[in-house]
Amino acid sequence: MFKKILVANRGEIALRVMRTCREMGIATVAVYSTVDRNMLHVRYADEAYLIGEGPPLESYLNYPKIVEVAKAAGVDAIHPGYGFLSERTEFAEACADAGITFIGPNPESVKLLGDKVSARRTMIAAGVPVVPGTEGRVGPDEAVRAAPAIGFPLLIKASAGGGGKGIRLVRSEGEIEGAVRVASSEAQSAFGDGGVFLERYLSPVRHVEIQIIADQHGNAVALGERECSVQRRHQKLLEESPSTVIEQPIREKMMAAGVAAAKASGYCNAGTVEFLFDPATNEFFFLEVNTRLQVEHPVTEWLCGRDLVRDQIRIAAGEPLGFTQADVSLRGHAIECRIAAEDPYNNYLPSLGRIDFVNEPSGPGVRVDSSIFSGIEIPYFYDPMLAKLICWGADRAQAIERMKRALREYVIVGVKTNIPFHLQLLDDPRFVAGQVHTGFLDDDFKMIEPDDRSEDERIALMVAAVLSHNRRARHGAQPAVLTGPAGSGWASGGRDRQLNVQSQVMQQGNRWRRSTG
Ligand code: MV4
């Protein structure tokens, strides 16, 4: 087993990966940019290295620098988290060249699946259903010939695209030739690959994905589905499992298709097979494979009772999966809400700055994967997601009740958040009835403005805020997570000096930590 792992990421996912490392007795190495020097992932790790300035290209995407740090720190393996370098095969190859294990899929399968046309071909050969469309890449003339059999409207998709990028809708025969030319040249400049293919446009549909995990010994299992139809402009906001529309026989077919997709592409480690699901016909169609651990993986962890990061690490170290499909049992219902610093009452405009105060929910059935604390400055360079709130219930109704309770407990002062959006969604009769589709938020959902408060209520709130501020100032606020290098207060004190930490909140946290041993 590995002795030391570098986590090439920031925020909640870096912390989440390090927590599992610590449980496994593996030392952790953080990397950070100048604007992230106060972040919890830096404070939690056993060692931390500055790798560059705030812009991702100068730090979290600078893989030669990260590999250099990994070598200097003497790590055995690197976990990339999601985003940043997680699906960059050059990075995985650079790790291998340096004799460091990349905790993720093999570059060959990532390349195969990253090209949507070769992925489609692989799935057709493996008997996984795909959306009716062209077998391979098409030029303008071939598109005109193929279109009538596919039917209108249809989609032109970039072979190098994915996740909503490089898609164009075509409504009639007259548009197709020009649309293929434009789509192809856009794909050429966006991805350096002008290849496009056609698919029938299915609507309304749901986005349902299957979590898979595969080892280096040919074992692959599916860990159920996640319903991800609640998204705005290709950004997921809420995910849940099980899906309200998938019945057990369909679930079993989808899981078998997910395993077949993994095997056909020679996949290893954790991955997600995305499908479109048509509730009118109960048919599902392969879309693409996400070759990383996804943001919403905790939903699956809660249903199947596994730690997917632990499984990823074990598999990367060469261990067999250690369980079979028959061992997988999925219990209850889990929902994840992505908490983001954006204003739902102002077109979801990012709301950056200092978070003056945080109080996170807890209690039965609540998991918070977060990296915020009172006093944190949200840097402008990265994703506005602040935290993930995951709730479990014996059934969907209980999961929804718990989520509403936890969202109301969640206090974030200083930036606007999308918590009011989640509360309104969870009360929406269409959501409660499980009737959502991928166009639901963009086409059918509007925030209801809160009633203006009366002047008396406003004054009462101001007085309450001043009183509670004074009380906190007397007793001292403490950061959300009081953890640091395992063991010694000397280590965390030294880290503060190394980082030149000025934040009063953190100094108070350390004083507390030292006084409690
Ligand atoms: C589709 C589709 C309808 N028909 N393909 C968008 C993201 C990318 N992964 C594929 N996408 C879609 N492909 C066919 N043939 C509708 C979408 C789609 C979508 C898919 C998943 C989640 C959200 C979506 C929002 C709009 C469109």
Over residues 460-484, the pLDDT tens digits come to 888 888 888 787 776 655 443 444 5
Mean pLDDT of the region 196-223: 97
Reported as a pLDDT band with limits 50, 70 and 90, residue 503 is: low
Q: Is 216 exposed, middle or buried (0-12, 13-18, 19+ CB in 10 A)?
A: middle
Check residue 478 and give its pLDDT: 47
Q: What is the pLDDT of residue 455?
A: 79
Neighbours of 423 (CB within 10 A): 16
Q: Please list every protein residue whose CB sits less than 6 Å from any atom of ligand 1.
A: 131, 155, 163-164, 167, 199-203, 205, 207, 231, 234, 274, 276, 287-288, 438
Facing residues of 387 across strands? Answer: 339, 370
pTM, rounded to two decimals: 0.89
Question: Which residues, including other chains, have CB under 8 Å from residue 68's CB and lie 6 or more apart?
Answer: none
Task: Spell out the alpha helix ranges (H) of 40-105.
Answer: 40-44, 63-73, 89-97
For 13-47, give one letter per residue: b (16+ CB within 10 A) or e. bbbbbbbbbeeeebbbbbbbbebbebbbbbbbbbb
Angstrom distance (rounded) from CA 338 to CA 62: 27
Ligand 1 centroid–CA 440 distance in Å is 13
| Distance between Cα 164 and ligand 1 center (Å) | 7
Q: Where are the alpha helices (H) located in 269-395, listed in sequence order? A: 297-304, 308-316
In tens, the pLDDT along 254-304 reads 999 999 999 999 999 999 999 999 999 999 999 999 999 999 999 999 999
Choice from 226, 233, 278, 287 to test ligand 1 binding pocket (greatest atom count within 8 A of CB)? 287
- C-alpha separations of 273 from 109, 123, 349 in Å: 13, 11, 31
End-to-end CA distance of the chain: 30
pLDDT at position 479: 45
Q: H helices then E strands: how many in the chain?
A: 18, 22
Q: Answer whether 480's CB lies under 8 Å from 360's CB.
A: yes
Q: Quick one: which H or E segment has residue 79?
A: strand 77-79
**pLDDT-based confidence at 513, cuts 50/70/90?**
low
pLDDT at 310: 98
From the CA of 9, how far away is ligand 1's center (Å)? 28
pLDDT per residue as tens digits for the range 149-184: 999 999 999 999 887 788 999 999 999 999 999 999
What lies within 8 Å, CB to CB, of 281 at 6+ separation is none
Q: Looking at residue 165, what is its pLDDT?
A: 83
What residue ranges in 92-164 does DSSP mark as E strands?
101-102, 154-162
Pocket test for ligand 1, best of 134, 196, 205 (most atoms within 8 A of CB): 205
**Residue closest by Cα to atom 20 of ligand 1:** 207
The residues, any chain, with a CB within 8 Å of residue 513's CB and separated by 6 or more, are 482, 484, 489, 492
Distance 159 CA to ligand 1 centre (A): 14
pLDDT level of residue 504 (50, 70, 90 thresholds): low
Judged against a pLDDT cut of 90, whether residue 5 lies above it is answered with yes
Atom 18 in ligand 1: residue holding the nearest Cα = 438
What confidence tens digit (pLDDT) does each residue in 418-461 have? 999 999 999 999 999 999 999 999 999 999 987 666 778 888 88
Say which range, 21-35, 129-143, 163-177, 209-223, has the weakest mean pLDDT. Answer: 163-177
154-193 residues labelled b (16+ CB within 10 A) or e (exposed): bbbbbbbbbeeebbbebeeeebbeebbeebbebbeeebeb
Positions marked catalytic: 292
Which residue's CA is the nearest one to ligand 1's atom 23? 438
Contacts by residues 321-324 (CB-CB < 8 Å, ≥ 24 positions apart)? 321/213, 321/214, 321/215, 321/217, 321/219, 321/220, 321/221, 323/221, 324/219, 324/221
What is the Cα–Cα distance from 483 to 477, expressed in whole angstroms?
Answer: 15
Crossing angle, helix 489-499 and helix 504-515, to 10 degrees? 160
Task: Decide: residue 198, CB within 10 A, 0-12 exposed, 13-18 middle, 19+ buried.
Answer: buried
Q: What is the pLDDT of residue 417?
A: 97
Average pLDDT of 131-147? 94
pLDDT, mean over the chain: 92
Bridge partners (DSSP) of residue 289 are: 273
Instruction: Name the residue with the closest Cα to ligand 1, atom 26.
Output: 438
Where are the alpha helices (H) located in 410-447, listed in sequence order? 419-427, 429-432, 440-444
- pLDDT at residue 457, rounded to an integer: 82
Residue 471, pLDDT score: 76
* Residue carrying the six token digits 């479109």: 276
Cα(135) to ligand 1 centroid in Å equals 18
Best of 167, 275, 440 to mutate for ligand 1, by most ligand atoms within 8 A of CB? 167
CB 5 within 8 A of CB 78: yes
Structure tokens at 338: 């992505």
* Residue 90 Cα to ligand 1 middle (Å): 28
> Which residue CA neighbors atom 25 of ligand 1 most closely?
438
Q: How far, in Å, CA of 341 to CA of 471, rounded?
A: 26
Q: What are phi and psi for residue 253, nearest 5 degrees?
A: -65, -40
* Percent of the residues in the chain that have a pLDDT greater than 90, as a whole number: 85
Q: In whole angstroms, what is the distance from residue 238 CA to residue 399 CA?
A: 13
- Is 137 a residue whose pLDDT tops 50? yes
Judge whether 158 and 180 are in contact, CB under 8 Å.
Answer: no
Residue type, 484: G
240-254: average pLDDT: 98
